């Protein structure tokens, strides 16, 4: 399931100590006893790059009282008939980064400098009241699938911060 709880150092004072549930894959967060409020940091998957294809990044979400969704990044498609591919780089896992591709000539309307990028996944931060013991559905978006000669986007992530 890929869930870990990371204690976050206190900023001082005698208050409660914040904790973070980290999701690198989809799963369920069970709200701990005594927790009534949480903040989610939600990043969608990054878009891929490639000749004539590739995929958009998947959306990540947390089902608080209303669902908080961060959309995945858009794919970057380049015209394989007029480009010389030099290198491609995938977005890092659990970063939401879009892929990059470099060529001696890249013909896309918004960037003719020789590089093209899949879009990064959106980052959304939202807080909500929660009920102790409740199961909160968490979805982590996949990175876009690489097109021919291209690279995949990085998968997204979800962090849930709460105080015990």
Token representation of residue 33: 């006893």
pLDDT tens track for 95-125: 888 887 766 554 444 444 455 677 889 999 9
Q: How many CB atoms lie within 10 A of CB 70?
A: 27
- Cα torsion 158, 161, 162, 164: sign: positive
Residues 6+ apart with CB under 8 A from 73: 44, 45, 46, 47, 56, 57, 96, 98, 118, 119, 120, 121, 122, 144, 153
Burial class (CB in 10 A: 0-12, 13-18, 19+), 132: exposed
> Does residue 80 surpass a pLDDT of 90?
no
Whether residue 44 contacts residue 73, with contact meaning beta carbons closer than 8 Å, is answered with yes
Find the mean pLDDT for residues 37-50. 92
DSSP code for 138 = E
Residues 78/48, Cβ–Cβ less than 8 Å: no
pLDDT at 51: 73
As a whole number of Å, the CA-based R_g of the chain is 19
């Amino acid at each position: 399931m890929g869930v870990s709880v990371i204690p976050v150092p206190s900023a001082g004072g005698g208050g409660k100590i914040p904790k973070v549930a980290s999701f690198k894959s989809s799963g369920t967060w069970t709200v701990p006893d005594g927790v009534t409020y949480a903040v989610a940091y939600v990043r969608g998957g990054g878009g891929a790059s490639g000749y004539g294809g590739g995929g958009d990044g998947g959306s990540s979400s947390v089902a608080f009282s209303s669902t908080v969704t961060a959309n995945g990044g858009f794919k970057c498609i380049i015209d394989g008939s007029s480009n010389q591919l030099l290198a491609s780089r995938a977005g890092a896992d659990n970063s939401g980064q879009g892929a990059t591709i470099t060529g001696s000539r890249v013909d896309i309307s918004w960037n003719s400098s020789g590089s093209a990028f899949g879009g990064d996944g959106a980052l959304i931060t939202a807080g909500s009241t929660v009920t102790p013991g409740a199961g909160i559905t968490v979805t982590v978006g996949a990175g876009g699938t690489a097109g021919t000669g291209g690279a995949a986007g990085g998968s997204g992530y979800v962090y849930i911060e709460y105080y015990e």
